[in-house]
Amino acid sequence: MSISLSLIYLAATIAFIIGLKKMGHPATAKNGNLIAAAGMALAIAGTIFIHDLQVPTSIYILIGMAILIGSAIGGWMAIKVKMTKMPELVSLFNGFGGASAALIGLVEFSRGGGDKMITTTIVSGIIIGAITFSGSLIAWGKLNGSVKSVIKIPYHNTVNNLFLVGIIAFAFFIVTAGASNEVLAFGLLAGGLIYGILFVLPIGGADMPVVISLLNSLTGIAAAITGILYSNMVMLIGGILVGSAGIILTVAMCKGMNRTLGAVIFGTFGATDSVAGTNKTLGTIKKTNPSDSAIMLNYATNVIIVPGYGLAVAQAQHIIHELEELLTKKGVNVKYAIHPVAGRMPGHMNVLLAESNVDYSLLLEMEDINPQFKNTDVVLVVGANDVVNPAAHNDPSSPIYGMPILDVENAKHIIVNKRTMKAGYAGIENELFYNDKTVMLFGDAKDALTSLVSELKNM
Per-residue pLDDT of 62-72, as tens digits, reads 999 999 999 99
- CA 377 from chain centre, in angstroms, equals 32
Query: Looking at residues 115-129, what average pLDDT do you find?
Result: 91
281 pLDDT above the threshold of 70: no
Residue 57 or 282, more confident:
57
Query: Looking at residues 241-259, what average pLDDT do you find?
Result: 81
Report, as residue numbers or ranges, the catalytic residues.
386
Query: Looking at residues 143-156, what average pLDDT do you find?
Result: 72
* 386, 425 contact by CB (below 8 A): yes
Most confident range, picked from 83-92, 123-132, 392-401: 123-132
Query: Looking at residues 232-243, what average pLDDT do you find?
Result: 90
For a pLDDT cut of 70, what percent of the chain falls above it? Answer: 90
If you count them, how many residues does the chain have?
459
Q: What CA–CA distance (Å, rounded) separates 14 from 36?
A: 9
> Which of 249, 259, 241 minimizes the C-alpha distance to 212?
249
pTM recorded for the entire structure = 0.76
* 388, 404 contact by CB (below 8 A): no
> Which of 53, 180, 70, 56 minimizes the C-alpha distance to 116?
180
For position 411, what pLDDT does the model report?
95
196 pLDDT above the threshold of 90: yes
> Which of 307, 358, 320, 349 minimizes the C-alpha distance to 86?
349
Most confident range, picked from 25-39, 171-185, 311-325: 311-325
Residue 202 or 387, more confident:
387
Lowest average pLDDT, out of 37-46, 137-146, 324-333, goes to 137-146
Domain 290-457: CATH superfamily, name plus number: TPP-binding domain (3.40.50.1220)
Buried b (16+ CB within 10 A) or exposed e, 209-243: bbbbbbbbbbbbbbbbbbbbbeebbbbbbbbbbbb
272 pLDDT above the threshold of 60: no
Query: Looking at residues 52-76, what average pLDDT do you find?
Result: 88
Q: What CA–CA distance (Å, rounded) separates 330 from 174?
A: 71
Cα dist from 381 to 163, 406, 448, whole Å: 44, 11, 12
Which are the contacts of 431, defined by CB distance < 8 A and separation ≥ 6? 277, 282, 389, 390, 391, 394, 395
* 275, 344 contact by CB (below 8 A): no
* 197, 135 contact by CB (below 8 A): yes
Cα dist from 123 to 166, 195, 321, 351, whole Å: 14, 15, 50, 37
For position 240, what pLDDT does the model report?
93
Lowest average pLDDT, out of 82-86, 115-119, 184-188, 439-443, goes to 82-86
Query: Looking at residues 37-41, what average pLDDT do you find?
Result: 93
Q: What are the boundaries of each domain within the chain?
A: 1-80, 87-271, 290-457
Q: What CA–CA distance (Å, rounded) separates 222 from 386?
A: 34
Q: What CA–CA distance (Å, rounded) separates 137 from 345?
A: 15
Q: What CA–CA distance (Å, rounded) separates 359 from 162?
A: 50
* 440, 310 contact by CB (below 8 A): no
For position 426, what pLDDT does the model report?
59
85 pLDDT above the threshold of 80: no
For position 56, what pLDDT does the model report?
85
β-sheet bridge partners, residue 334: 303
For position 378, what pLDDT does the model report?
96
User: How confident is residue 271, by pLDDT bands cut at 50, 70 and 90?
Assistant: very low
Q: What CA–CA distance (Å, rounded) separates 99 from 207?
A: 23
User: How confident is residue 212, by pLDDT bands cut at 50, 70 and 90?
Assistant: confident
pLDDT in tens, 336-377: 999 887 877 767 788 888 888 898 889 998 999 999 999 999
Query: Radius of gyration (Cα) for the chain, nearest Å?
Result: 25
* 94, 212 contact by CB (below 8 A): yes
Q: What CA–CA distance (Å, rounded) separates 256 from 235?
A: 31
For a pLDDT cut of 90, what percent of the chain falls above it? Answer: 46
Query: Looking at residues 131-137, what average pLDDT do you find?
Result: 94
For position 78, what pLDDT does the model report?
85
274 pLDDT above the threshold of 50: no
For position 278, what pLDDT does the model report?
39
408 pLDDT above the threshold of 90: yes
Lowest average pLDDT, out of 10-24, 143-157, 390-404, 410-424, goes to 143-157
User: How confident is residue 279, by pLDDT bands cut at 50, 70 and 90?
Assistant: very low
